[in-house]
Amino acid sequence: MATLIGRIYYGYRYINEELSGIETFNIILSNVISQLYSFSLKDPRTQDFFLIGSPWGVLGIIFFYLYFLHELGPNIMAKRKPFNLDRIIQLYNFLQIVICSCVLYKALSLAWLVDYRFYCEPVDFSYNPRAIEIARTVWMYFLLKILDLIDTVFFVLRKKYNQISFLHVYHHAGMVFGSWATTKFLAGGHISFLGTINCFVHVVMYSHYLATSLRISKPWWKKHVTQLQITQFCLILIQFILLAYAEECPFPKWTAAVLIPQNLFMIVLFGDFYYKTYIKKRKTNKNGVALDVSNGKMKSQ
């Protein structure tokens, strides 16, 4: 038992603290496991960034997030009326628009409107000012994903439990951990397209939320926001399929093995939500029956 514990501890130290740099990979999905053993994981430039050096901080945030949603939050609100958070949420939406716009601008001006290629873009692990600024932008995106968790906190405090779906929680928690791993291991390059397009989608989404709360936009625009989110996942899927088939791309191809099925899964989840909310509901309305999406039950009009 002591030997097993020692090996686990050494493995953790090896991955989290000792590895550095990155090797070029030329073998696609069939050689993923062997790549992982030879792949030098840690990006030494980002290890001093807040919450990046060790996984325990981000894991603690995710675990507390899940605990608050399922235990602490509902218990706190059990004997309380829903909070009126309209002004706070409006301020939060405005803050999201500003921060997402800043990260989007930096990603475009530093990389994707300069010389980054859609089909293959390696990470620049050098310490030149532009490469460091790109790495900091990736880290800023990670912090932004932590801020996104407040969305669900608002649902709990307002007792909007029907909006806390598996899709919502899985997407938010997964984006926090995924953006942390990106900052720690691959701060820039091919994978940064995901964060860039996601910031654009969030600028549109939170602008819609803010406009709706101020009564200067119609709720039916939410359908188009969902369409934009599905388009986002399709573009990311295409980008990593191109990476998987690129013959001489120095960006690690094992990331395609992770993100291709992940984005397929997200397309299925968002597609199912879109069908139930905007297509199936419309069909039932035509037949004189409304679908209560919150609990999946049918009721007569």
User: HEC string of 31-100?
Assistant: HHHHHHHHCCCCCHHHCCCCCCCCCHHHHHHHHHHHHHHHHHHHHHHCCCCCCCCHHHHHHHHHHHHHHH
Residues 6+ apart with CB under 8 A from 159: 77, 82
Token digits of residue 94:
């405005």
pLDDT of residue 5: 47
What does the alpha-carbon distance between residue 265 and residue 241 come to, in Å, rounded to a whole number?
Answer: 15
Cβ-in-10-Å burial (0-12, 13-18, 19+) of 4 comes to: exposed
Q: Tell me, what DSSP letter sits at residue 180? A: H
What is the rounded average pLDDT of the residues 250-258? 93
278-295 b/e (C-beta count within 10 Å ≥ 16 → b): beeeeeeeeeeeebeeee
Token digits of residue 169:
């929680």
Q: Which residue has the tokens 């986002």?
A: 232
What is the rounded average pLDDT of the residues 45-70? 96
What is the rounded average pLDDT of the residues 154-173? 94
Backbone angles phi, psi at 98, to 5 degrees: -65, -50
Residue 80 has pLDDT above 60, yes or no: yes
pLDDT of residue 264: 96
pTM across the whole model: 0.80
pLDDT of residue 171: 93
Distances from the Cα of 19 to the Cα of 22, 131, 184, angstroms:
9, 20, 11
- Check if the beta carbon of residue 85 is closer than 8 Å to that of residue 209: no
Percent of the chain with pLDDT over 70: 78
pLDDT of residue 18: 52
| Residue 300 three-state SS | strand
Residue 26 has pLDDT above 50, yes or no: no
Cβ-in-10-Å burial (0-12, 13-18, 19+) of 177 comes to: middle
Residue 263 has pLDDT above 70, yes or no: yes
Token digits of residue 231:
């388009």
Tens of pLDDT, residue by residue over 96-153, are 999 999 999 999 999 999 999 999 999 999 999 999 999 999 999 999 999 999 999 9
Greatest CA separation found in the chain? 67
Tens of pLDDT, residue by residue over 169-216, are 999 999 999 999 999 999 999 999 999 999 999 999 999 999 988 888
Q: Tell me, what DSSP letter sits at residue 291? A: E
Note every long-range contact of 230-234, with CB atoms under 8 Å and residues 24 or more positions apart, other chains counting.
230/267, 230/270, 230/271, 230/274, 232/197, 232/198, 232/201, 233/263, 233/266, 233/267, 233/270, 234/263, 234/267
Amino acid, res. 151: D
Q: Which of 70, 168, 171, 208 is catalytic?
A: 171
pLDDT of residue 289: 44
- Check if the beta carbon of residue 184 is closer than 8 Å to that of residue 59: no
pLDDT of residue 215: 82
Percent of the chain with pLDDT over 90: 69
Residue 70 bears catalytic tag: no
| Closest residue by Cα to residue 281 from 236, 233, 226 | 226
Q: Per mean pLDDT, which range of 33-47, 108-122, 147-161, 231-245 is the poorest?
A: 33-47
